[in-house]
């Protein structure tokens, strides 16, 4: 098999299993937190790292939210079995980066990784994420190239794959939809909150041999669960969050 086809096949195989990444991160976080050194910096720096980690995850959510909120049906879907694209979106965030959802995913999860205070873990996860998603992005782009031909090639030559080129931004051709974000992003936000709570529990156990966590984590977790349940109920049992022309 030619290397080109091998990359594409492996990318499609990984594409179907990309939802399993959080499971591996949760398992890897156990030794990462165990071997983390929390006393090598002062108290102020520890707080800075914590807030920076949260900021990264919030930024990742903003990237995903803007992407989801400004894309029509047939693009940027949550399809897990096959590549799907009814149209080629080249405006809005797709005018500055070709894979904004994967960029958003990286920022959301790397925030949790940074929260472990283990720089080696940050580097390892970043490298693994790149190797994993590079194949997926390759497979997606092969699919888009076959479907849209020269139009796709012209766009891809101008827009970077993962690191945004903000100077090339063009306003989205469709308005931002908050309903799309509420309908599609609640599970990702809940998973991120659980990730931070999970790391906090691990740090408490390895540092103080206790499973106690701060009230702020409990409040945020409860709020996230309640919001998720409400939005999920609205999505599956009503038409409040439904929209014409949106996925």
The pLDDT > 70 percentage for the chain reads 86
Mean pLDDT of 209-221: 87
Mean pLDDT of 35-39: 71
User: What single DSSP character describes residue 93?
Assistant: G
pLDDT in tens, 132-153: 888 888 888 888 888 888 888 8
Please provide the average confidence, as pLDDT, over all residues in the chain: 86
Among 10-19, 82-91, 117-126, 149-158, top mean pLDDT goes to 117-126
Residue 78 has pLDDT above 60, yes or no: no
Q: What is the pLDDT of residue 80?
A: 47
Q: What is the pLDDT of residue 77?
A: 46
pLDDT in tens, 81-103: 555 566 788 889 999 999 999 99
Distances (CA, A) of 158 to 125, 133, 168, 190: 28, 21, 8, 35
Residue whose C-alpha is closest to residue 217's, from 232, 204, 230:
204
Residue 71 has pLDDT above 90, yes or no: no
Distance of CA 212 to the CA centre of its chain: 28
Q: What is the pLDDT of residue 247?
A: 67
């Amino acid at each position: 098999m030619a290397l080109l086809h091998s990359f594409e096949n492996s990318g499609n195989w990984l594409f179907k299993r990309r939802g399993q990444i959080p499971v591996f991160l949760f398992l890897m976080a156990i030794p990462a937190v165990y071997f983390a050194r929390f006393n090598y910096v002062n108290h102020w720096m520890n707080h800075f790292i914590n807030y920076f980690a949260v900021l990264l995850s919030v930024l990742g959510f903003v990237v995903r939210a803007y992407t989801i909120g400004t894309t029509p049906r047939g693009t940027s879907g949550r399809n897990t079995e096959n590549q799907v694209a009814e149209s080629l979106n080249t405006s809005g965030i797709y005018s500055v980066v070709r894979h904004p959802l994967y960029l958003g995913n990286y920022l959301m999860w790397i925030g949790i990784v940074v929260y472990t205070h283990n720089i080696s873990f940050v580097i390892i996860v970043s490298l693994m994420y790149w190797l994993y998603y590079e194949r997926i992005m390759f497979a997606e782009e092969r699919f888009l190239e076959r479907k849209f031909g020269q139009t796709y090639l012209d766009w891809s030559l101008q827009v970077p794959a993962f690191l945004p080129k903000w100077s090339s931004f063009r306003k989205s051709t469709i308005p931002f939809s908050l309903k799309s974000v509420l309908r599609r992003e609640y599970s990702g936000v809940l998973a991120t909150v659980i990730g931070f709570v999970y790391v906090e529990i691990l740090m408490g156990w390895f540092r103080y041999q206790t499973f106690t966590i701060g009230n702020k984590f409990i409040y945020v977790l409860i709020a996230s669960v309640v919001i998720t349940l409400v939005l999920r109920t609205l999505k599956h049992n009503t038409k409040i969050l439904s929209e014409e022309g949106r996925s």
